[in-house]
Amino acid sequence: MGQTIIEKIIARNIGAASVKPGDIVTVNVDRVMLDDIMMPFIVNKFQEMGFKEVWDPDKVVLIYDHLVPASQQDDTRHYRIGDEFAARHGLTHVHRSDGICHQLMTEAGYVKPGDVVFGTDSHTTTYGCVGAFSTGIGYTEMAAILGTGQLWVKVPETIRVVIDGTLPEGVMSKDIILRLIGDLGADGATYRALEFGGQTVEQMSIASRMTMANMAIEAGAKCAAFIPDEKTAQYCGIQLSGFQAGLRGDADASYVKTLTYRAEDFLPVMACPSQVDKIRNVSELAGTVIDQVFIGSCTNGRLEDLQAAAAVLKGKQVAPFVKLIVTPASRKVYLEALECGALQTLMDAGAIITHPGCGLCCGRTGGILCDGERVVATNNRNFLGRMGTSKVEIYLASPVTAAACAVAGKIVDGVQV
């Protein structure tokens, strides 16, 4: 019987010839990501469990991103608790202002194809972009991993998504994943893995794959998986081992279902307030007046996203009543966007560029909205109250669509601007 990508990763991790969906196994963790918001609770539980030492400090990455820079007095308490824990346990992978956790985990090379990774954030599914098995957990389970290096998991069933062909102009991988979430529903992949394949996916950059893996959780998925290829190897700065190169679903692997798409059929879409699976074509929403546009986050704050937005905004001006807020996903992305001129173009068009971090996406800082306002945003959630008060309307879209809306001051199809 063949195996899916996730089954192969888990089987190798536990030293078994194969595993099947539903098996409950204990995995050895290759890497964990701890974020600033959860840090006090993780430390508290770690102590409550009576652990004295971290199982392997080299496998632990601590990232301050939700609260950087501080916007409220309590924020700095979280840094202090994190710093104390890092010093006491000899953690060396600590990022205090380098960017958003999921961007850094892949960009800084902490995650490799075939790894088993957990993080205290639901968008930990992102690392499926390089063919890792990664998912989000709570602070109690994270504390248990820090003490033992292990966690029990149920081997998930896998849904296969195959996309062939070439995407139309102005359509990005964000439009694919939004459409897929709409088709599956917000719980359509709950407890399951989403495995992506097909020519369109093969042609995609790692950044575009990252956007899709990031949002797999919005369909409820436990994890996402892309086949590691030459682009992956280059991105991770490695040569693929035999095991890593073999991380593809076997022809006779068992999938719970397979969804097949033609790339040419995708259109620019949006997730409408306040459900991630309420997907509409942008053309159906055209004319809706907006107050703000946000381009950034672990979903769409990478260089190619900023460049795509800059291409739309070049030589144009953001509508006078619209605030365009751009947040590069990391310091590295920020510098690259500076060097290639994308930031200059965005600034010339009237954008506000902020420091890398999670601020606006998680509703903490840097452009919070209030009652009656409407925002087009490239992040991953449009839940009630997510980016301000509970009477803010959030429309999720691709960077191309978002940039076009910023110019028009209303919802508009990116290709038409």
Q: How far apart are CA 406 and CA 417, in angstroms?
A: 10
Give Cβ neighbours of residue 210 (< 8 Å, ≥ 6 apart).
102, 106, 126, 129, 302
One residue of 30, 107, 121, 157 binding another protein per CB under 8 A: 121
String of contacts with another protein for each residue 180-209, x by CB under 8 A: ------xx--xx------------------
One residue of 120, 126, 173, 330 binding another protein per CB under 8 A: 120
- Please, are residues 240 and 130 in contact by the beta-carbon 8 Å criterion? no
Q: How far apart are CA 404 and CA 401, in angstroms?
A: 5
Q: In angstroms, what is the minimal distance from the CB of 329 to another protein?
A: 19
Find the part of the chain contacting another protein (CB under 8 A) among 32-40, 265-273, 280-288, 408-416: 32-40
83 touches another protein (CB under 8 A): no
Residues 258-287 that bind another protein (CB under 8 A): 275, 277
77 touches another protein (CB under 8 A): yes
Residue 283 is encoded by which pair of tokens?
Answer: 């053309």
One residue of 2, 69, 90, 138 binding another protein per CB under 8 A: 138
289 touches another protein (CB under 8 A): no
Q: Between 180 and 312, whose beta carbon lies closer to another protein? A: 180
Q: Between 5 and 137, whose beta carbon lies closer to another protein? A: 137
Q: Between 321 and 383, whose beta carbon lies closer to another protein? A: 383
385 touches another protein (CB under 8 A): yes
248 touches another protein (CB under 8 A): no
Give Cβ neighbours of residue 158 (< 8 Å, ≥ 6 apart).
4, 5, 6, 7, 21, 192, 193, 194, 195, 225, 249, 253, 254, 255, 256
Q: In angstroms, what is the minimal distance from the CB of 183 to another protein?
A: 16
**Could you tell me if residue 366 is left (phi over 0), alpha (psi between -120 and 50 degrees) or otherwise beta?**
left
Find the part of the chain contacting another protein (CB under 8 A) among 84-92, 136-144, 297-305, 329-337: 136-144
Site residues, another protein (CB under 8 A): 37-38, 40-41, 45, 48-50, 67, 72, 74-75, 77-78, 120-122, 124, 135-141, 144, 186-187, 190-191, 220, 222, 275, 277, 362-364, 381, 383-386, 390
